[in-house]
């Protein structure tokens, strides 16, 4: 592909710069510790509740960081993004705040709540079939016709740096308790969230051990860690984690994650359903399936965390009411 050959990987300094841009705009989400979870897994666990971020997921951070840096002369042409829902809403909200036109290429089977909320934020939605069409190609065609700026979901240094502000907040909030993260578990799709948080944490706490978490059957990142090259998923549908079905790790994100993380675990849809229900019943939090993948891995004992200071990222809470009802009443 060669798409990222001339793109410089983001650094910890880029994460710091993103934190300044996002100050007073993004929500500084809480780091939640619950004794009921500590007791369940035998560790001291802190959950970063990005479910409470603007638009209900972490994606707003990267989108705002990227869009706010677009030069004034290029803003009139607007932005174009492609997303199953959370990035869509993050881009739509950031563009609305900054006064830019946003067009989002979304799968026609994306959860209704995500499509409706994206439209409500003023974005134009262009639907596509995720099994037969290439969303990036559609988005680039629109952007080329209009002279618009593409806002990628993960493979972009500004996006990664924006997500990395979660990592620096984790370190700062734990430091106030005189603690350091020993194990951090982050869901992986394209790998932008994991790469950003790893940069943000490891620049301050290099000894922190990271794991990515993915749905069974969609573990391209874990398999890529093992083979040393970017592996692909065999299919693009078939898990309740609709936000975690990217076909392969990013060109830019994978080298970062291989260097800073290097190990991944998986959780089944049944594990994820239990985690969504646990978060609702015990923590009083609404978490979408993809957002609960890290918690699912912890509750299913996929990682040895006994006696450690552990951080899990609840990356999003945008779930249809019907789906949520099924998962929490099972």
Return the pLDDT at 3: 42
Instruction: Please state which architecture CATH assigns to domain 12-58+156-329.
Output: 3-Layer(aba) Sandwich (3.40)
* Rounded average pLDDT over 61-86: 94
Q: Would you say 114 and 86 are in contact if contact means Cβ atoms under 8 Å apart?
A: yes
Residue 330: band (very low, low, confident or very high) from pLDDT cuts 50, 70, 90: low
Rounding to the nearest 10 degrees, give the CA dihedral for residues 161, 167, 168, 170: 160
- For the cut 80, the answer to whether the pLDDT of residue 232 exceeds it is yes
* Rounded average pLDDT over 232-260: 92
| Between 143 and 243, the higher pLDDT residue | 143
Return the pLDDT at 2: 38
- For the cut 70, the answer to whether the pLDDT of residue 6 exceeds it is no
Distance CA 274, CA 289 (A): 10
Contacts of 212 (CB under 8 A, 6+ apart): 185, 186, 187, 188, 191, 194, 221, 222, 225, 257, 261, 263, 264, 265
Return the pLDDT at 229: 96
Strand partners, 31: 48
Instruction: Encode 142-162: b = buried (16+ Cβ within 10 Å), e = exposed.
Output: bbeeeebbbbbbbbbbbbbbb
Return the pLDDT at 210: 98
Dihedral pair phi/psi, residue 277, rounded to 5°: -65, -40
Assigned CATH for 60-150: 3.40.50.1100
Nearest to 62 by CA among 15, 129, 120: 15
Distance CA 323, CA 302 (A): 25
- For the cut 90, the answer to whether the pLDDT of residue 239 exceeds it is yes
Return the pLDDT at 163: 98
Return the pLDDT at 62: 98
Structure tokens at 166: 């979660």
pLDDT digits (tens, 9 = 90+) for 131-186: 899 989 999 999 999 999 999 999 999 999 999 999 999 999 999 999 999 999 99
* Rounded average pLDDT over 88-112: 93
Kindly list the domain boundaries of the chain, sorted by start residue. 12-58+156-329, 60-150
Q: Left if phi > 0, otherwise alpha if psi is -120 to 50, otherwise beta: which for 297?
A: alpha
Quick one: CA dihedral 67, 72, 78, 82, positive or negative? negative
Cβ-in-10-Å burial (0-12, 13-18, 19+) of 125 comes to middle
- Write out the chain in H/E/C secondary structure: CCCCCCCCCCCHHHHHHHHHHHCCCCCCCCEEECHHHHHHHCCEEEEEEHHHCHHHECHHHHHHHHHCCCCHHHHCCCEEEECCCHHHHHHHHHHHHHCCCEEEEEECCCCHHHHHHHHHCCCEEEEECCCCCCHHHHHHHHHHHHCCEECCCCCCHHHHHHHHHHHHHHHHHHHCCCCCCCEEEEECCCCHHHHHHHHHHHCCCCCCEEEEEEECCCCHHHHHHHHCCCCCCCCCCCCCCHHHCCCCCCCCHHHHHHHHCCCEEEECHHHHHHHHHHHHHHHCCCCCCHHHHHHHHHHCCCCCCCCCEEEEEECECCCCHHHHHHHHHC
- For the cut 80, the answer to whether the pLDDT of residue 5 exceeds it is no
Asked if 12-58+156-329 and 60-150 have one fold, the answer is: yes
């Amino acid at each position: 592909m060669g798409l990222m050959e001339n793109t410089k990987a983001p650094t910890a300094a880029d994460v710091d710069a993103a934190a300044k841009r996002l100050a007073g705009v993004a929500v500084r989400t809480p780091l939640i510790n619950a004794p009921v979870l500590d007791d369940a897994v035998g560790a001291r666990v802190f959950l970063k509740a990005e479910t409470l971020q603007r638009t209900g997921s972490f994606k707003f951070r990267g989108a705002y960081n990227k869009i706010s840096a677009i030069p004034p002369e290029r803003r009139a042409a607007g932005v174009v993004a492609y997303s199953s829902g959370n990035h869509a809403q993050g881009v739509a909200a950031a563009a609305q705040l900054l006064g830019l036109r946003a067009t989002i290429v979304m799968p026609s089977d994306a959860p209704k709540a995500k499509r409706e909320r994206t439209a409500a934020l003023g974005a134009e939605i262009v639907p596509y079939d995720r099994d037969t069409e290439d969303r990036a190609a559609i988005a680039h065609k629109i952007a080329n016709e209009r002279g618009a700026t593409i806002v990628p979901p993960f493979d972009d240094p500004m996006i990664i740096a924006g997500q990395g502000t979660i990592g620096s907040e984790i370190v700062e909030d734990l430091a106030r308790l005189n603690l350091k993260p020993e194990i951090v578990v982050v869901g992986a799709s394209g790998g932008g969230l994991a790469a950003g948080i790893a940069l943000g944490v490891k620049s301050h706490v290099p000894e922190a051990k990271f794991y990515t978490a993915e749905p069974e059957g969609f573990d391209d990142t874990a398999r890529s860690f093992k083979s040393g090259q970017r592996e692909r998923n065999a299919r693009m549908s078939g898990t309740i984690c609709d936000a975690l079905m990217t076909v392969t790790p990013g060109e830019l994100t994978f080298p970062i994650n291989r260097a800073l993380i290097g190990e991944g675990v998986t959780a089944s849809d049944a594990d994820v359903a239990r985690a969504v229900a646990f978060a609702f019943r015990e923590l009083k939090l609404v978490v979408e399936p993809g957002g609960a993948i890290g918690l699912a891995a912890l509750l299913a004992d996929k990682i040895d965390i006994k006696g450690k200071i552990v951080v899990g990222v609840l990356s999003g809470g945008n779930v249809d009411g019907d789906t949520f009802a099924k998962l929490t009443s099972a």
